[in-house]
């Protein structure tokens, strides 16, 4: 395939979604190339995954900057240098601000482990179990200035397994990895 879409993946955690996207790029199941992995958590496991895959890592911690704008300007300079065309959030646990949103209008995508607008924010799976819902799910959406808001691109329902967060998380992650790949393929066509 030609003209691969250049993406930067943003992540703060273990990086199973990062790994699934990276594998899909390698196998040619996603017409994209990860040019950069951006993290706000240099100690996160996703950094090891990126290094093992030979993907450049850019770690920026907000506390190193006076303002959110300065923090995002630094990220933006690195994204431009890497030639990133789309920003793919995969467990990036920070709100994206004005600087990145205006540099990448309608080109920032997020995945969230619930059927939004239910259970936005942190620990969406724990929130679903706590509320006793029987069905939760996964949402892929374009990012705006809100917390897990923005136009919804795709959703898939997942049963809550025995009221148990760990088992439900396992089921959700498996769906996330497929749904993110499918949705990104649709966007990059
Ligand atoms: C994923 O479940 C993702 O949907 C969630 O963080 C997890 C990261 O897992 N994102 C959010 O909650 C965003 N609000 P991973 O590090 O294994 O990809």
Q: Which atom of ligand 1 is nearest to the CA of 90?
A: 18
CB–CB of 159/170 below 8 Å? no
Average pLDDT over residues 106-126: 98
Run of H or E including 20: helix 16-27
User: pLDDT band at 155, cuts 50/70/90?
Assistant: very high
Which of 123, 150, 176, 183 has most ligand 1 atoms within 8 Å of CB, for mutation? 176
C-alpha pair distances (Å), 156 with each of 55, 72, 73, 177, 180: 29, 31, 35, 12, 11
Read off the pLDDT band of 92 (50, 70, 90): very high
How much distance in Å is there from the Cα of 87 to the middle of ligand 1? 15
Average pLDDT, the chain: 97
3-state helix, strand, coil in the chain (%, to 5): 40, 20, 35
Q: Mutate which of 39, 92, 111 to test ligand 1's pocket (most atoms within 8 Å of Cβ)?
A: 111
* pLDDT score of 126: 98
Using pLDDT thresholds of 50, 70 and 90, give the confidence band for residue 2: low
Q: Given the CA of residue 13, which atom of ligand 1 is nearest to it?
A: 16
Q: Do the Cβ atoms of 86 and 93 come closer than 8 Å?
A: no
Going from the N-terminus, what domains does the chain have, and what CATH number goes with each?
Answer: 1-105 (3.40.50.170), 112-175 (3.40.50.170)
| Its pTM surpasses 0.85 | yes
Q: Pick the closest to residue 111 from 168, 174, 47 (CA basis).
A: 174
* Mean pLDDT, residues 100-115: 98
Q: Give tens-digit pLDDT for 36-71.
A: 999 999 999 999 999 999 999 999 999 999 999 999
Q: Which residues participate in catalysis according to the annotation?
A: 112
CA dist., res. 136 & res. 114, Å (int): 5
pLDDT of residue 136: 98
**Is 113's C-beta closer than 6 angstroms to any atom of ligand 1?**
yes
- Dihedral Cα 11, 16, 22, 26, nearest 10 deg: 180
CA–centroid distance for 95 within its chain: 12
Distance 12 CA to ligand 1 centre (A): 9
Does the CB atom of residue 150 touch ligand 1 within 6 A?
Answer: no
Q: How confident is the model at residue 125 (pLDDT cuts 50, 70, 90)?
A: very high
Confidence class for position 165, pLDDT limits 50, 70, 90: very high
Cβ-based neighbour number of residue 166 at 10 Å: 9
Residue with tokens 């959030």: 89
pLDDT score of 1 more than 60: no
């Amino acid at each position: 395939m030609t003209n691969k879409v250049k993406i930067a993946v943003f992540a703060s955690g273990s990086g199973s979604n990062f790994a699934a996207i990276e594998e899909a790029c390698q196998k040619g199941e996603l017409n994209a190339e990860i040019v950069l992995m951006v993290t706000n958590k240099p100690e996160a496991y996703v950094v090891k995954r990126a290094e093992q895959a030979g993907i450049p890592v850019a770690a920026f911690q907000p506390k190193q900057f006076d303002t959110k704008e300065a923090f995002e300007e630094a990220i933006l300079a690195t994204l431009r240098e890497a030639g990133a065309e789309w920003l793919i959030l995969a467990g990036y646990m920070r709100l994206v601000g004005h600087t990145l949103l205006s540099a990448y209008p309608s080109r920032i995508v997020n995945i969230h482990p619930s059927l939004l607008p239910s259970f936005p924010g942190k620990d969406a799976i724990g929130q679903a179990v706590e509320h006793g819902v029987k069905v939760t799910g996964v949402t892929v959406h374009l990012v705006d200035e809100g917390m897990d808001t923005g136009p919804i691109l795709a959703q898939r329902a997942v049963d809550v397994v025995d009221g148990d967060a760990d088992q439900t998380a396992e089921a959700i992650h498996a769906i996330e990895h497929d749904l993110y790949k499918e949705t990104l393929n649709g966007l990059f066509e």
